[in-house]
């Protein structure tokens, strides 16, 4: 069973430039991998006898756009686990907001196929080499990527109102005469 600092040492020996940075002090230590290096690193982590990360627990997209800090990037976070060796690893890939591209790992872990489709659907991250990159949760003709921090809901979708309509309390405050008909339009 290895902890993240041991794995980092092994990876730095094997792939000298691929690990861009690491954070070993936090309660959830992680390694940041460059996007192009991801398939090589993940293939090693899965197939090597001592690492044996046969299970991809979770693949998430995250949007770090915080007005308080200067963060402005998208990330893909991979939670790896080895049932045989009982060790965990967190890998992150940092992507720019305008052109988020990262190679797919669906050939390494089959479940990445659906997880990557969800990250594409919600964040617009392009997974290069994916066999079937299309939306999974939103309808196929949905526009824009809902979980991004700067997402604005569309006004209508296929003619149906999509944005949240004003509550009656807001309309009353604005001075509208609501009357007694609960089915008023608009």
Partner 1 sequence: MQVEAYAGEEMVLNMGPQHPSTHGVLRLELETDGEIVKKVTPHIGYLHRCFEKHAENIDYPGVIPFCDRMDYIASMNNSLGYALTIEKLMQIEVNERVQTLRVLMAELNRIASHLLSIGTYAMDIGSFTPFLHCFREREKILDLFEWVCGARLLYNYNWVGGVSHDIPSGFVEKTSEFLNQLEPVIAEMDKLLSYNKIFLARTAAVGIINKDLAESFNVTGPNLRGSGIQWDLRKEEPYCAYETYDFEVPIGSGQFGPVGSCWDRYYVRVREMEQSIKLIRQALDRLPEGDVHEMVPRRVKPPKGEIYGRTETPRGELGYYVISNGGLIPFRVKVKSPCFTVLSVLPAIARGAMVADIIAIIGSIDIVMGEVDR
Residue 27 binding partner 1, by CB under 8 A: yes
Q: Which of 10, 20, 35, 111 contacts partner 1 by CB under 8 A?
A: 111
Residue 32 engages partner 1 in binding (rule: CB under 8 A): no
Scanning 26-34, 37-45, 165-173, 175-183 for contacts with partner 1 by CB under 8 A, the matching segment is 26-34
**Distance between CA 3 and CA 43 in Å, rounded?**
19
Crossing angle of helices 38-47 and 4-14, rounded to 10°: 120
Interaction pattern, residues 132-171, with partner 1; x per rule: CB under 8 A: ---xxxxx------xx------------------------
For partner 1, the binding residues in 48-107 under the rule CB under 8 A are: 54-58, 60, 62-63, 66, 68, 77, 79, 83, 86, 90
Among 116, 61, 48, 40, CA closest to 87: 48
Q: How far is the CB of 178 from partner 1 (least distance, A)?
A: 27
Using the contact rule CB under 8 A, the part of the chain among 9-17, 94-102, 129-137, 178-186 near partner 1 is 129-137
Interaction site with partner 1 (CB under 8 A): 26-28, 54-58, 60, 62-63, 66, 68, 77, 79, 83, 86, 90, 109-111, 113-114, 122, 135-139, 146-147
């Amino acid at each position: 069973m290895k902890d993240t600092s041991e794995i980092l040492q092994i990876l730095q020996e094997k792939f000298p430039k691929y690990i861009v940075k690491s954070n070993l002090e936090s309660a959830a230590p992680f390694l940041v991998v460059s996007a192009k290096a991801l398939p090589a690193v993940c293939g090693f982590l899965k197939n090597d006898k001592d690492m044996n990360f046969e299970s991809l627990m979770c693949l998430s997209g995250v949007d770090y756009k915080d007005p308080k800090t200067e963060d402005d990037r998208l990330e893909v976070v991979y939670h790896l686990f080895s049932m045989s060796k009982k060790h965990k690893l967190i890998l992150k890939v940092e992507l720019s907001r305008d052109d988020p591209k990262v190679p797919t790992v669906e050939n390494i872990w089959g479940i990445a196929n659906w997880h990557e489709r969800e990250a594409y659907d919600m964040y617009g991250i392009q997974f290069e080499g994916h066999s079937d990159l299309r939306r999974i949760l939103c309808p196929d003709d949905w526009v824009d990527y809902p979980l991004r921090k700067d997402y604005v809901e569309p006004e209508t979708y296929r003619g149906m109102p999509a944005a949240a309509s004003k509550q009656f309390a807001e309309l009353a405050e604005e001075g509208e005469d609501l009357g007694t008909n609960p089915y008023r339009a608009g």
